[in-house]
């Protein structure tokens, strides 16, 4: 079967349907191409994967292709995506993990990083790897005279200890936390980091929900961004009288939080909470103006808080490669996205849902208020959430909005899609066209529910004409 790798190689990772757009042959070819493009012959390459049924054989195939081209492969086994970034950072080696994150069971894919956890995207070598893999797929992988070796290494204990060294939870007040792993990799990492599976117990009573590693996702999709997938967690938090709930996506690089009432705490509020802690830590270490990165869909409460604390807020486009690039360039201490990706200087500028969760636990456990009360100051505005409209001529729809608001005191910028900010009424919205689907994505934020709803409805009326 002939496969066009353009179908599975995306801007930031590889993702496709197993047996169709991602196969054993294409994975082996990608392993060989990874080594060639990054000049890794004679060097170490880390290979891991999540709990999806196809991940073990894909790890083997990638290793075969990589060793054929001279790399020494270290298999790090079952891992969350942030474990890959940890390993690439601590071991200073490039690597790949097989995962399709929150996608359904029939998918798998690859997330790649260079040594030091530097991201690999379409702009930094991913498409070069794709093109080299396509050639190998068509002509076969040619092994070097001296091939590489394969060894194994378990990194779970080191990963858990590393995170505990960054956020000390040993002296917080006792907390009961329900964790929904969604049958994903958090079912393995949560007991290691927050429980006593590999390290001494913390003052946490962890109530597990769907911790069995099962890439068929028998309970609900491992995508907490969809409200329906939070319902079991919300109900469990209320029923058990827990202090909070945590929900991770399939590869556990994103974390969503619900308070003691079962109400979701917005990712922007979590970003503001963590930013406050990271700014204080950096200032205590002598940094005069700590930098915090946020994407343009994040609540304006985040940059406002950062500036009020003596930090500097830097706005960037949506997408982890942009955030990580700006984190490195600006020497940022922390970065947050509306999609619940959280990035840390002390974690190689990479995103980790578990470390963000630990900051929330630390903030909650060092004071007496419930999470709903603690989070109030971080969420002063009202957001619509992302609303998708299926529109073929997206440019014309945006043009209608521009024309309708031409006489209003509004600032417009085109950093990522089009953002409209009212200079006096305190609201803003962003329209971003999807690159792969006929969707125009709308995010609105206002000072109160009535204003947000009015702006939301007016904009939807304009774009859906």
Residues annotated as catalytic (active site), given as ranges: 101
37 touches 31 (CB < 8 A): no
Which residue from 83, 63, 46, 231 is spatially nearest to 160, judged by alpha carbons? 83
375 touches 273 (CB < 8 A): yes
Question: Measured between alpha carbons, how far is 40 from 417 in angstroms, rounded to an integer?
Answer: 38
* Residue 453 three-state SS: helix
* Residue 108 burial (10 A CB sphere; 0-12, 13-18, 19+): buried
Report CA Rg, the chain. Answer: 22
Which residue from 67, 75, 60, 13 is spatially nearest to 36, judged by alpha carbons? 67
221 touches 105 (CB < 8 A): no
* Residue 421 burial (10 A CB sphere; 0-12, 13-18, 19+): middle
By DSSP bridging, strand 342-344 and strand 350-351 are: antiparallel
List, in sequence order, every beta strand (DSSP E) within 345-415. 350-351, 382-383, 387-390, 410-413
**Phi, psi of 316, rounded to the nearest 5 degrees:** -145, 175
Question: Measured between alpha carbons, how far is 419 from 445 in angstroms, rounded to an integer?
Answer: 11
346 touches 162 (CB < 8 A): no
* Residue 340 three-state SS: coil
**Phi, psi of 111, rounded to the nearest 5 degrees:** -115, 130
Q: Cβ–Cβ contacts within 10 Å for residue 413, how many? A: 13
């Amino acid at each position: 079967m002939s496969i066009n790798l353009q179908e599975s190689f995306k801007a930031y990772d590889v993702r496709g349907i197993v047996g169709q757009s991602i196969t054993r042959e294409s994975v082996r070819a990608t392993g060989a191409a990874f080594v060639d493009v990054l000049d890794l012959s004679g060097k170490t390459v880390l290979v891991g994967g999540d709990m999806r049924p196809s991940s073990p054989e894909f790890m083997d195939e990638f290793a075969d292709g990589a060793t054929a081209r001279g790399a020494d492969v270290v298999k790090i086994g079952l891992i969350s995506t942030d474990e890959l970034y940890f390993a690439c950072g601590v071991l200073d080696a490039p690597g790949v993990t097989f995962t399709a994150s929150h996608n359904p069971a029939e998918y798998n894919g690859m997330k790649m990083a260079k040594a030091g956890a530097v991201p690999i995207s379409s702009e930094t070598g991913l498409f070069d790897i794709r093109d080299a893999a396509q050639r190998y797929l068509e002509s076969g992988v040619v092994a070097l005279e001296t091939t590489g070796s394969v060894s194994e290494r378990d990194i779970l204990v080191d990963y858990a200890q590393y995170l505990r060294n960054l956020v000390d939870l040993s002296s917080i007040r006792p907390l009961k936390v329900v964790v929904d792993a969604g049958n994903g990799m958090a079912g393995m990492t949560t007991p290691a980091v927050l429980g006593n599976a590999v390290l001494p117990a913390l003052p946490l009573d962890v109530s597990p929900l769907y911790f069995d590693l099962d890439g068929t996702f028998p309970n609900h999709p491992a995508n907490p961004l969809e409200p329906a997938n939070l319902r079991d967690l919300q109900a469990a938090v209320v029923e058990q009288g827990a202090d909070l709930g945590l929900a991770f996506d399939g590869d556990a690089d994103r974390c969503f939080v619900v308070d003691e009432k079962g109400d979701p705490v917005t990712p922007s509020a979590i970003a503001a909470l963590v930013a406050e802690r990271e700014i204080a830590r950096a200032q205590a270490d002598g940094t005069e103006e700590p930098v915090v990165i946020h994407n343009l869909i994040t609540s304006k409460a985040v940059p406002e808080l950062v500036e009020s604390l003596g930090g500097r807020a830097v706005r960037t486009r949506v997408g982890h490669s942009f955030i990580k690039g700006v984190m490195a360039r600006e020497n940022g201490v922390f970065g947050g996205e509306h999609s619940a990706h959280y990035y840390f200087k002390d974690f190689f500028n990479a995103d980790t849902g578990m470390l963000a969760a630990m900051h929330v636990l630390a903030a909650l456990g060092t004071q007496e208020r419930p999470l709903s009360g603690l989070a109030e100051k971080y969420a002063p505005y009202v957001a619509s959430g992302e609303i998708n409209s299926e529109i073929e001529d997206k440019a014309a729809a945006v043009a209608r909005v521009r024309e309708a608001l031409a006489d209003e005191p509004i600032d417009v910028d085109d950093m990522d899609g089009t953002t409209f900010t009212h200079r006096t009424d305190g609201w803003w919205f962003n329209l971003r066209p999807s690159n792969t689907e006929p969707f125009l994505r709308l995010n609105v934020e206002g000072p109160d529910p009535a204003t947000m709803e009015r702006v939301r409805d007016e904009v939807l009326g304009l774009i859906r004409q």
